[in-house]
A and B are shown apart, each in its own frame.
Chain A
Amino acid sequence: MNIAKNIESVGVSIRNARKSYGAFHALDDVSLEVGAGEFVSLLGPSGSGKTTFLGILGGFVQPTSGSVFLGDRDITYAPPHKRDIGIVFQNYALFPHMSVGENVAFPLRARRLPKSTWPARVRDALSMVQLAGFEDRRITELSGGQRQRVALARAIIFEPRLILMDEPLSALDKQLRENMQIELRHLHQKLRATIIYVTHDQREALTMSDRVAIMNRGKIVQIDTPVRLHDHPTDSFVAGFIGEATLLPVEQAGAEYVKLGSYLLRSAHPVPPGKEIFLAVHAEKLLIADDTDDGFLNRMAGTVTEVLYQGESARVFIQLDDGTRLSLRQPSNHTGLTKIKSVGSRMTIALHPQDTILVPKASY
């Protein structure tokens, strides 16, 4: 018995799904194609429709319109227990009256598989999540991280073709969360299952996913690889949501140029059409300029207003001469820190044209 060998992942296709509560659209005409074996995250602020989206996939929410396909099977109206989708719920949803082993064996019992096959499969599933030998423990005896693993083992034991996870790590502390992220990533590589993962933690989404779908107000506003999302946000919402970006209104001044106050900045990317354009400045992309810089970089000058030392890096707040506020992040190595001027002194900052990201104003 080997779960990893048996999972035959399929793609998922959600077409024009809408869920309305009265006049309010919790999910507004959303389409998403997920390839077999792909790891896709849904990332968005609270209330953006992520759980509703998973509910439609899991069969707990009836879409007002639209359809859901698992491979080439239309499951829009299939009841949850006939979908063969493994779900890891936010609060684990372990059955408190059952032992770890009974919880993990639940899908086997529900499918009326012969009892003699259970122990081997439970053992296999538990060892996949590093909980070998935990069969007889009570749920109440487990730590948060262990419960999370049991929920995971229970969701993969029946070799589902698709696994959904709704903020599965949000209740864990930071250290554990980061370890679990890496483990989930490895598990995904081992199982090669299709995974749709909901989170409101962008770092988590960027770390784990092949692609990330950014949601806002019931819509998917952008779906892209983590790198593209970071460097090519489609609009001001995504740019503001991903990374530590400051959005500054700029004016178009030619095919490659924009004006920020009195500064003329060159971008390596085409200036987006439209009247309202923003420059998205990521704190880590802003450099402290020194005399050795070539004229290639966009330069601005201002006054240091505050310096925060944050361990692995320092954050420096700068006010440009026209009053615009910016912040930059400087890695806290010796050379990096010595470049930071003291509060009140003047400092020149630079931005590479490749990092000069311009976005149109979000239309919603």
Chain B
Amino acid sequence: MFLLLTPALAVIVALLVVPLLWLAWQSVYHNGFTLENYRRILTEDIYWHSFLQTFRIAFIVTAATALLGYPVAYVAASLPRRWSIIVLAMVVLPFWTSVLVRAYAWLILLQRTGIINSTLKSLGLIDVPLILVNNEFGTVIATVHILLPFMVLPLYATMQKIPAELTMAGASLGGTPSHVFFRVFLPLSLPGIIAGAVLVFVLTLGFYITPELLGGGRTFMVSMLVSRNVELYNEWGAASSISVVLLACVFAIFWAASRLIPVERLMGMR
């Protein structure tokens, strides 16, 4: 029986465990054991700044996907099955286009001479074009767009399992629709919110292409820190230590979330 697991295990060890160990090793070994790389992360402003900005963006993106995704999932879950599939398909469809393509599409929409600015201008709402891109705002918009399905799908899965009788019972017992929503439906959909939030948050932490293209150099996320260290300065040790810290953050988040809801649910396996 367990022999069947061997090939998969081998692949995981070769492609995941070994590189990770190599990464960890590199971060502490440079002509002998050293914590220099970690000392630098803790002391230098640029690192602090980048980690802070990354977490802030991840936080904003998570909140925005939750606010946008909740109504979508709610509608999908309350529609008859045939229609809910259509709504979900519309959410997931962009998912199959490349991240790169979508980043450029947003660039075209949001830039100074883009559709949004030219429309607002022709409507006379603005005189000077708004700076919608090449900053944190552009990064957030595009990231929210890309990660929305990761919020909607776990939310939908959770909501769909909330029995209709519960809201009916709430109403029959005298609860107004909003009372029933806040006292019954929302608390029962909380595991879906947590699962979606963890996924979106963690994925945003590691986002690279989107902030690179839409951040305009003003957004400097941790992933970019890693790539700069390797590409510009050939500093593998520094890059590794940043990755290790980021990985530790991700594990910490998963650990914290798993105390709230079961891990299977967190990973989308129910």
Contacts and interface: CB of A to CB of B under 8 A. Distances in A.
A in complex with B:
yes
Interface of A: 58-60, 79-81, 83-87, 89-91, 93-97, 106-107, 109-111, 154-155, 158
A85 B183 contact: no
B173 A106 contact: yes
A81 B176 contact: yes
A158 B173 CA distance: 8
B172 A81 contact: yes
Interface string B167-202: 011111111110110011001100000000000000
A110 B168 contact: no
A124 B168 CA distance: 25
The 4 A-B residue pairs whose C-beta atoms are closest, nearest first, are A93-B169, A80-B171, A93-B165, A110-B174
A266 B188 CA distance: 65
Chain B binding surface SS class? helix
Contacts, number: 68
A246 to B, nearest CB: 39
B163 interface: yes
B163 A93 contact: yes
Interface of B: 163, 165-166, 168-177, 179-180, 183-184, 187-188
B174 A107 contact: yes
A91 B171 contact: no
A95 B166 contact: yes
Contacts of A107: 173-174
Contacts of B165: 89-91, 93
Given A91-B165, A93-B166, A97-B187, A79 B174 contact: no
B168 A81 contact: no
Contacts of B171: 59-60, 79-81
A89 B168 contact: yes
A60 B173 contact: no
Contacts of B173: 81, 86, 106-107, 110, 154-155, 158
B253 to A, nearest CB: 24
B163 A91 contact: yes
A276 B115 CA distance: 79
Nearest to B177: A81
Contacts of A109: 183
A83 B187 CA distance: 25
B163 A84 contact: no
A86 B172 contact: yes
Which of B166, B174, B179 has its CB near the most chain A CB atoms (within 10 A)?
B174
A79 B175 CA distance: 11
A87 B176 contact: no
B136 to A, nearest CB: 37
Nearest to B165: A93
Contact of B172 (A85, A91, A94, A97): A85
